[in-house]
Amino acid sequence: MSYNGFETLKVDVDGPIATVTIRREQQLNALSSVVIAELTQIVGELEVSTDVRVVIVTGAGEKAFVAGADIAEMVEMTPIQATAFAEMGGSLGNAIETSEKPWIAAVNGFALGGGCELALACDFIHASEKATFGQPEVKLGVIPGFGGTQRLSRRVGVAKAKELCMTGDTVKAPEALRIGLVDAVWPDAELLPKVRELAMRIAANGPLAVAEVKRLIHQGQSTSLEHALALEQRSFGLLFATTDQREGMSAFLAKPKRAAQFKGQ
């Protein structure tokens, strides 16, 4: 299936991997309402694909992943319009976070404000050595509106999140790795190949099982350990009703052992 007709996105599907590239290079890929709407649309379209198993999101050009939300669009917003804009960005983050597909942010430059928040909504953040992260909204007299205060604190801890959000300071990729904001840092030329390697390792596994891992870890962050463990046990049992479970275990026990051919069923 092809994914055409987007004004601000380029979507490439290669085997089980979809790569979504934000294309507003002159605006450093800033998140306008159009970009947010198109990203939300592609999340939904990829969600129902039986072929795509992992999604990579990145930015066009050499300077930015996403340099922030579109300040030129925001500057004259009323409080009601600003709230609607924040809700729009929040819905995008929630769609990525609750998607059954794993999403990997390949951060190839500036990931500031809304760009950092977009990366934070993904399951993994891999960065180029030249990447820069930050939530500088306080320098504009506002706060992160797309989930930054909440997802950042869950990534780096409360104190560090307060520091970054209250000072508006930015951090380079090595420091972002040290504080746990990113999962890996690569030389610029290796970023997308390394991210694709990770995506392929995930895509080789049972997609129903991968989706359950994502769902359970996400849900487990906001409930008691006792309840989360009960959810895990229930999901473990339910997966034994799938074709993928039978295929995976049969392939493991085959002599010689063979690679499982999962179908997401």
Residue/partner pairs of 99-102 with CB below 8 Å, 24 or more apart: 99/43, 99/46, 99/47, 99/55, 99/214, 100/47, 100/207, 100/211, 100/214, 100/215, 101/46, 101/47, 101/52, 101/53, 101/54, 101/55, 101/211, 102/53, 102/54, 102/55, 102/199, 102/202, 102/210, 102/214
Q: What are phi and psi of 113, to 5 degrees?
A: 55, -120
Would residue 47 show up in a list of annotated catalytic residues for this protein? no
Would residue 45 show up in a list of annotated catalytic residues for this protein? no
| List 62, 137, 163, 197, catalytic entry | 137
| List 62, 117, 212, 232, catalytic entry | 117
Q: What are phi and psi of 143, to 5 degrees?
A: -130, 165
Tell which residue, 231, 253, 250, has the closest CA to residue 242: 250
Share of the chain residues as helix, strand and coil, in percent rounded to the nearest 5? 50, 15, 30
Chain position carrying tokens 């390792």 = 201
Residues 9 and 102: their CA atoms lie apart, in Å, by 19
Q: Which structure tokens are listed for 215?
A: 């769902």
CB 37 within 8 A of CB 6: no
CB 144 within 8 A of CB 89: no
Catalytic residues: 117, 137
